[in-house]
């Protein structure tokens, strides 16, 4: 009696999960979904299939894109949403978790305040004395110092309100506390310490569980003697998961990781360049800082996407006006280009000077400006830096704490590191345990008996 041959195991070409053939819901070759998948996984064919979780992720992205023609235009997909790029677990959105952000300034962006305001508190700890009225006025006045913290908080916890839900963070339903610790031109070492101390003192008032620090100190220092590093250690002992950006000096001769990212108990996040696709084989390192630290500690622990990331444009700024005009110009027919440029005279001098040119030359100038300004739409642009990798990890931590609120900071760190996946042919000292994998981390939180509620 001859033995039947064993069918080869079929694996999903996106995430490598095992999937029994035939895969359900495989799209037709002319389906818009095929174009979206191929933009993320070049060369993919429908008969290769997708596992159900990946198929659901792409279908959800396709549905959102149907309401955002300026983002999915003429079959050319621009910037992939972060949840899709990291294969996030859509069951969790940081519900019931508060994340504190330390940065140079903030603004109440609609992705955080609409349809419900999830900003629990804003404070400027650099003032000589507390002044709630001045803080409130400052918070709602856009200025150069508002931009960076607005972006980091929205990358983590934005709900994509201005993009029809496309460009949302992993913790799109988390609450946030915003702590200003400097300005766009200067953040002092000791002010970051004061910010951490403020968060620890108010953690119970706002039920803060996670702290994101997308700024660094002024100098290298041992955590044994440095007050900022000691403040970070104290925050972790108080039950806070502290997530810090590693920095962006990986190509410099001295690629030091500065406090508080150099403190041993924090989760330090380096940068991954995933090429704006979901194909893990195409990932490479970003120019992020790495250890060993002055104390001989290896940093970062994990890496996350840190380039080609969608982030909000600060409302009420010249950049916002220009991006809005570029979006309108993209959508208008050639016959309407000149009238639209006349109606928006003064927004951009080069566009003003070009309004008498033939439409094809105006289109060329529009394309150049969109490219050079990293514009995605009238409300978003793409950015880079470990300042934005850290919020992705902070938002994943919020998802984990939603799944199991009883997790301690050491348990969160242990799950993140053992669920991460290293890039091949990249030195361990640059990537730590590797790229964070939200689904693996959430699966560990839910299924590992060690962490059951």
What pLDDT score was predicted for residue 451? 41
What pLDDT score was predicted for residue 449? 45
Which pLDDT tens digit goes with each residue over 135-169?
999 999 999 999 999 999 999 999 999 988 889 99
**Could you tell me the pLDDT band of residue 12, with boundaries at 50, 70 and 90?**
confident
72-81, 179-188, 268-277: segment of lowest average pLDDT: 72-81
Q: Note whether 230 and 223 are within 8 A (CB).
A: yes
Q: Select the highest-mean-pLDDT range: 12-21, 23-32, 245-254.
A: 245-254
What pLDDT score was predicted for residue 27? 56
Residue 160 burial (CB count, 10 A)? 23
What's the rounded Cα separation, in Å, for the pair 186 and 73?
40
**Could you tell me the pLDDT band of residue 283, with boundaries at 50, 70 and 90?**
confident
Closest CA to 196 of 102, 98, 128, 263: 102
What pLDDT score was predicted for residue 73? 44
**Could you tell me the pLDDT band of residue 17, with boundaries at 50, 70 and 90?**
low
pTM for this prediction: 0.86
Which pLDDT tens digit goes with each residue over 410-422?
999 999 999 999 9
What pLDDT score was predicted for residue 18? 63
The residues that bridge with 302 in the sheet, in sequence order, are 269
Which pLDDT tens digit goes with each residue over 23-50?
555 555 556 677 667 766 666 777 777 7
The mean pLDDT of 229-249, rounded to a whole number, is 97
What pLDDT score was predicted for residue 431? 96
Which pLDDT tens digit goes with each residue over 286-320?
999 998 999 999 999 999 999 999 999 999 999 99
What pLDDT score was predicted for residue 68? 45
What's the rounded Cα separation, in Å, for the pair 106 and 181?
10
What pLDDT score was predicted for residue 74? 42
Cβ burial 41-54 (10 Å sphere, 16+ → b, else e): beebebebbbbebb
What's the rounded Cα separation, in Å, for the pair 80 and 71?
9
What's the rounded Cα separation, in Å, for the pair 173 and 170?
9
The mean pLDDT of 60-85, rounded to a whole number, is 62
Structural domain boundaries in the chain = 98-311+383-451, 314-378
Average confidence score pLDDT of the chain? 88
Fold adopted by 98-311+383-451: Rossmann fold (3.40.50)
Taking 60 as the threshold, does the pLDDT of residue 197 lie above it? yes
What pLDDT score was predicted for residue 8? 58
The mean pLDDT of 7-12, rounded to a whole number, is 66
What's the rounded Cα separation, in Å, for the pair 27 and 242?
42
Take residue 194 and report the two structure tokens written for it: 């004061």
pLDDT above 90 as % of the chain: 72
What pLDDT score was predicted for residue 69? 39
What pLDDT score was predicted for residue 5? 53
């Amino acid at each position: 009696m001859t033995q039947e041959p064993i069918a080869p195991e079929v694996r999903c070409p996106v995430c490598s999960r095992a999937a029994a053939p035939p895969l359900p819901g495989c799209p037709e070759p002319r389906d818009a979904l095929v174009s979206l998948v191929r933009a993320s996984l070049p060369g993919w064919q429908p008969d290769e299939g997708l596992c159900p979780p990946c198929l659901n992720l792409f279908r959800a992205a396709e549905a959102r894109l149907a309401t955002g023609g300026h983002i999915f235009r003429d079959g050319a997909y621009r910037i992939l949403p972060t949840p899709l790029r990291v294969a996030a677990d859509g069951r969790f959105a940081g519900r019931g978790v508060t994340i504190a952000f330390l940065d140079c300034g903030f603004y109440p962006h609609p992705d955080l305040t609409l349809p419900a305001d999830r900003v629990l508190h804003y404070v400027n700890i650099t003032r000589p004395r507390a002044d709630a009225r001045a803080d409130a006025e400052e918070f709602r006045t856009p200025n150069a110092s508002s931009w960076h913290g607005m972006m980091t908080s929205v990358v983590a916890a934005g709900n994509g309100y201005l993009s029809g839900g496309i460009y949302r963070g992993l913790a799109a339903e988390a609450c946030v506390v915003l702590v200003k610790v400097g300005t766009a031109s200067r953040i002092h070492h000791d002010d970051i310490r004061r910010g951490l101390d403020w968060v620890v003192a108010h953690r119970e008032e706002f039920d803060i569980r996670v702290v994101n620090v997308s700024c660094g100190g002024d100098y290298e220092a041992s955590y044994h003697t440095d007050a900022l590093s000691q403040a970070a250690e104290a925050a972790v002992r108080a039950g806070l998961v502290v997530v810090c950006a590693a920095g962006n000096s990986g190509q410099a001769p001295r690629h030091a990781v500065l406090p508080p990212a150099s403190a041993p108990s924090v989760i330090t996040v380096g940068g991954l360049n995933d090429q704006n696709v979901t194909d893990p084989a195409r990932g490479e390192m970003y120019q992020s800082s790495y250890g060993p630290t002055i104390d001989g500690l290896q940093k970062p622990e994990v890496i996350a996407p840190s380039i080609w990331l969608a982030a909000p444009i600060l409302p009420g700024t010249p950049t916002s006006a220009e991006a809005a005009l570029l979006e309108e110009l993209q959508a208008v027919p050639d016959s309407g280009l000149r009238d639209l440029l006349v109606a928006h005279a003064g927004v951009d001098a080069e566009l003003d000077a070009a309004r008498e040119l033939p439409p094809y030359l105006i289109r060329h100038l529009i394309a150049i400006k969109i490219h050079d300004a990293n514009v995605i739409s009238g409300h978003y642009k793409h950015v880079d830096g470990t300042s934005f990798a850290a919020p992705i990890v902070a938002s994943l931590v919020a998802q984990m704490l939603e799944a199991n609120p009883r997790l301690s900071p050491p348990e969160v760190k242990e799950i993140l590191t053992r669920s991460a996946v290293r890039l091949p042919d990249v030195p361990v000292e640059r990537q730590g345990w590797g790229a964070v994998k939200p689904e693996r981390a959430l699966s560990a939180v839910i299924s590992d008996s060690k962490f059951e509620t």
